[in-house]
Amino acid sequence: MTTADAVPLRTLAKMIDHSLLHPTLTDEGILAGCALARKYDVATVCVKPYAVPMCCKELAGADVGVCSVIGFPHGNSTTAIKTAETVQAIRDGASEIDMVINIGKALGGDWEYISHEVRVVNDVCLSKNAILKVIFETDYLQDEQIIRLCEICSRIKAAFIKTSTGYGFAKQPNGFYSYAGATEHNVALMRAHSAPGVQIKAAGGVRTLDELLRFRALGATRIGATATEVILEEAKKRGYR
């Protein structure tokens, strides 16, 4: 039996949060993204908070959820603002929340602060039948910090942990900025140090079917992607049905 025989196309589609987060996206571009998400029957569209009501209206009747980012992209909002932003996004129709942690607090080892903000936002999500994905921004972190975040999110029972925003550009020795985004090393590390009930979303630079399949093999159950059409059309060409 081939991989294409073993994995339904819909299973691959339902791994994808179709990302519509670039700051230059107009409403027209976001609506076009919703149409693509509906066509390919993905898990969600992942959008900026102001776009949640528009996307919910556009996707009414489709089996595609609306995911809102919170504290995006750098995680610097106060816990109170992240909480209020979460409440508003869910009120507007979001069923999933992708929240960026306070990265500076993680780098400084203030794990009590991180635990508190994750717990508070997760409690809001649970109380309103939404799920939380906690974004680490792994480009900025060392393995030991990623492990600690995995342990915190496991203890709090967050639904998902997520590698990256796709906008975590780190300064390189040559002075230029770039990002790695989701890497096989970090996804494997996160899977190894998280409770079985915590799912993993690989995001940032996932552009091909082969990358999706590699992350799936490492334990990721969701990916963030702008290349949704490319990925799923390639899957069809390879015989996924």
Q: Say which amino acid occupies 77.
A: S
d(CA 81, CA 185): 33
Q: What CATH number has the domain bearing residue 117? A: 3.20.20.70
- For the whole model, what pTM was predicted? 0.96
State how far the Cα of 168 lies from the Cα of 178, in Å rounded to an integer.
8
- The answer to whether the Cα torsion of 49, 200, 1, 225 is positive or negative is positive
Q: Is the pLDDT of residue 7 over 70?
A: yes
- Give one DSSP letter per residue of 98-145, joined into a string: EEE--HHHHHTT-HHHHHHHHHHHHHHHHHTT-EEEEE--GGG--HHH
Please pick, among 82, 133, 139, 162, the residue that the annotation labels catalytic.
162
Q: Is 237 among the catalytic positions?
A: no
Phi-psi region of 100 (alpha: psi -120 to 50; beta: other; left: phi over 0): beta
DSSP secondary structure string, 29-91?
A: HHHHHHHHHHHHT-SEEEE-GGGHHHHHHHTTTSS-EEEEEESTTT--S-HHHHHHHHHHHHH
Highest mean pLDDT: which of 6-10, 97-101, 168-172? 97-101
Confidence at residue 2, expressed as pLDDT on a 0 to 100 scale: 59
Q: How many domains does the chain have?
A: 1
Residue 13, pLDDT score: 98
Please give the share of the chain, as a percent, with pLDDT higher than 70.
Answer: 98
The residue from 17, 82, 98, 139 that is catalytic is 98
Question: Mind listing the pLDDT tens digit for each residue in 32-74?
Answer: 999 999 999 999 999 999 999 999 999 999 999 999 999 999 9
C-alpha to C-alpha distances, 175 to 67, 105, 165, 178, 205, nearest whole angstrom? 34, 24, 21, 10, 21
Q: The tokens of 62 are what? A: 């489709």
Cα 42 to chain centroid, rounded: 13
- Give the model's pLDDT for residue 170: 87
Residue 171 pairs in a beta bridge with 177
Per cent of the chain over pLDDT 90 is 94
Active site residue 57: no
User: Which residue range is the domain that position 64 belongs to?
Assistant: 3-237
Q: What are the pLDDT digits (tens) for 104-116?
A: 999 999 999 999 9
Residue 1's pLDDT band, with cuts at 50, 70 and 90, is very low
Q: What is the pLDDT at residue 3?
A: 62
C-alpha 13/C-alpha 232 separation (Å) is: 7
pLDDT value at residue 172: 87
Q: Could you give the CA distance from residue 98 to residue 72 in angstroms, rounded to a whole number?
A: 9
What's phi and psi for 220, nearest 5 deg?
Answer: -70, 140
Residue 226 scores a pLDDT above 60:
yes
The CA dihedral of 235, 37, 161, 168, to the nearest 10 degrees, is 100
pLDDT of residue 107: 98
Q: Write out pLDDT tens, residues 110-151.
A: 999 999 999 999 999 999 999 999 999 999 999 999 999 999
162 part of the active site: yes
Length of the chain in residues, anyone?
Answer: 241
